[in-house]
Structure 1
Amino acid sequence: MTSIKQNSAPSTSFAWIVTITSLAFIIAQLDVSIVNIALPQIVQTYKADISMLQWVVDAYTLAFAVLMLSAGSLSDLLGAKRIFQLGMCIFGIASLGCGFAPNAGSLIGFRVLQGVGAATMIPSSLAILNQAFAHQPATRTRAIGLWTATGSAAIAAGPIVGGILIELSSWRFIFLVNVPLCIAGLLLSFRLQQTDMAKVKKKFDFAGQIAWMLSITTLIASIIEWPQLGLSHPLIYGSLIFSGVTFLLFLAIENKVTAPMLPLHLFKSATFNVLLLLGAILNWAYYGTVFILSLYLQNVLHYPSLHAGFAFLPLTLGFVISNLLSGRIINKFGIRIPILTGLVLFAAGFAGLFIAQADTPYWQLFLPFLVIPMGMGLAVPSMTNGILSSTDKALSGTASAVLNTVRQAAGAIGVAVSGAMAAGNTASLLQAIYTCAAIAILLSILLYTLNFKYLKNSGMSK
Structure 2
Amino acid sequence: MPDHRATVLLTQCAGMFLVQLDVTVVNVALPTIGARLHADLPVLQWIVDGYTVVLAALLLCGGALGDVLGHRRVVLAGFAVFGAASAGCALAPAGSTLIAFRVAQGAGAALLLPGTLAVITRTYPGRREQARALGIWAGVSALALSAGPVLGGVLVSVAGWRSLFWINVPLTALAMAGTLLVPRDPPASGRVDVKGTVTGAAALALLVFAVIESSVAAGLAGVAAAVVFVAVERSSPAPMLPLALLRSRTFAAANLVAGAMNFAGLGTILVVTLYLQGVRHMPPLTAALAMLPGFLPLSLLAPVTGRLTARFGPRPVMISGLLTGVAGLCLLLRVTEHSTVAGSVLPAFALVGVGLGLLTAAVVAAAVGGVPADKAGVASGVNNTARQAFGALGIAAFGAIAGSPAQPAAFVHGLHVAALVGAASWLAAAALTAGAVGDPGRNRVAGDR
Please state which band the TM-score falls in when normalised by the shorter chain.
over 0.9
Query: Is residue 101 of structure 1 aligned with residue 92 of structure 2?
Result: yes
Instruction: Return the offset for 1:340.
Output: 0.8
- What secondary structure is seen at the aligned counterpart in 2 of 1:13? helix
- Equivalent pair of 1:37/1:308 in contact (CA under 8 Å): no
Query: Is residue 367 of structure 1 aligned with residue 358 of structure 2?
Result: no
Q: Which whole-Å deviations, capped at 9, do the CAs of 1:266-298 have from their partners, x for residues lacking one?
A: 101222111111000111112222223333322
| Distance in 2, Cα, partners of 1:274 & 1:402 | 12
Out of 116, 121, 124, the residue aligned to residue 107 of structure 2 is: 116
Greater shift, 205-214 or 441-450, is seen at 205-214
Out of 444, 447, 452, the residue aligned to residue 429 of structure 2 is: 447
Query: Is residue 90 of structure 1 aligned with residue 81 of structure 2?
Result: yes
- Normalised to the residue count of structure 1, the TM-score between the two structures is 0.90
- Equivalent pair of 1:50/1:419 in contact (CA under 8 Å): no
Q: Where do 1:198-209 residues align within 5 Å? A: 198=188, 201-209=189-197
Query: Is residue 377 of structure 1 aligned with residue 357 of structure 2?
Result: yes
| Distance in 2, Cα, partners of 1:204 & 1:123 | 16
| Distance in 1, Cα, partners of 2:373 & 2:437 | 21
Out of 410, 426, 451, the residue aligned to residue 407 of structure 2 is: 426
| Distance in 2, Cα, partners of 1:341 & 1:437 | 18
Cα–Cα, structure 1 residues 48 and 177, in superposed 2: closer, same or farther, change >3 Å?
same
| Distance in 2, Cα, partners of 1:51 & 1:93 | 25
- What secondary structure is seen at the aligned counterpart in 1 of 2:191? coil
- Equivalent pair of 1:84/1:120 in contact (CA under 8 Å): yes
- Normalised to the residue count of structure 2, the TM-score between the two structures is 0.93
Out of 161, 166, 169, the residue aligned to residue 156 of structure 2 is: 166
- What secondary structure is seen at the aligned counterpart in 2 of 1:75? helix
Q: Where do 1:301-450 residues align within 5 Å? A: 301-364=280-343, 365-424=345-404, 425-427=406-408, 428-450=410-432
Q: Which residue of 1 aligns with 2:138?
A: 148
Query: Is residue 184 of structure 1 aligned with residue 174 of structure 2?
Result: yes
The CA RMSD over aligned residues, in Å, is 2.0
Cα–Cα, structure 1 residues 147 and 238, in superposed 2: closer, same or farther, change >3 Å?
same
Greater shift, 44-53 or 82-91, is seen at 44-53
- Equivalent pair of 2:264/2:425 in contact (CA under 8 Å): no
In structure 1, what residue type is equivalent to 2:209?
A: A
Q: Specify every segment of 5 or more residues in structure 1 that has no aligned partner in the other structure, as ranges.
A: 1-9, 227-235
Percent of pairs identical after alignment? 32
- What secondary structure is seen at the aligned counterpart in 1 of 2:318? helix
In structure 2, what residue type is equivalent to 1:210?
A: V
Q: Which whole-Å deviations, capped at 9, do the CAs of 1:327-347 have from their partners, x for residues lacking one?
A: 221122221111111011111
Q: Which residue of 2 aligns with 1:278?
A: 257
- What secondary structure is seen at the aligned counterpart in 2 of 1:444? helix
| Distance in 2, Cα, partners of 1:16 & 1:343 | 33
Q: Which whole-Å deviations, capped at 9, do the CAs of 1:337-378 have from their partners, x for residues lacking one?
A: 111110111111212222333333221222222221211111
Aligned length: 440
Q: Where do 1:25-104 residues align within 5 Å? A: 25-104=16-95
Q: Which residue of 2 aligns with 1:231?
A: none
Q: Specify every segment of 5 or more residues in structure 2 that has no aligned partner in the other structure, as ranges.
A: 444-449
Instruction: Return the offset for 1:61.
Output: 1.3
Q: Which whole-Å deviations, capped at 9, do the CAs of 1:439-462 have from their partners, x for residues lacking one?
A: 11011111111111223598869x
Q: Which residue of 2 aligns with 1:232?
A: none
| Distance in 1, Cα, partners of 2:197 & 2:303 | 36
| Distance in 1, Cα, partners of 2:323 & 2:29 | 32
Greater shift, 116-125 or 388-397, is seen at 388-397
| Distance in 2, Cα, partners of 1:429 & 1:19 | 42
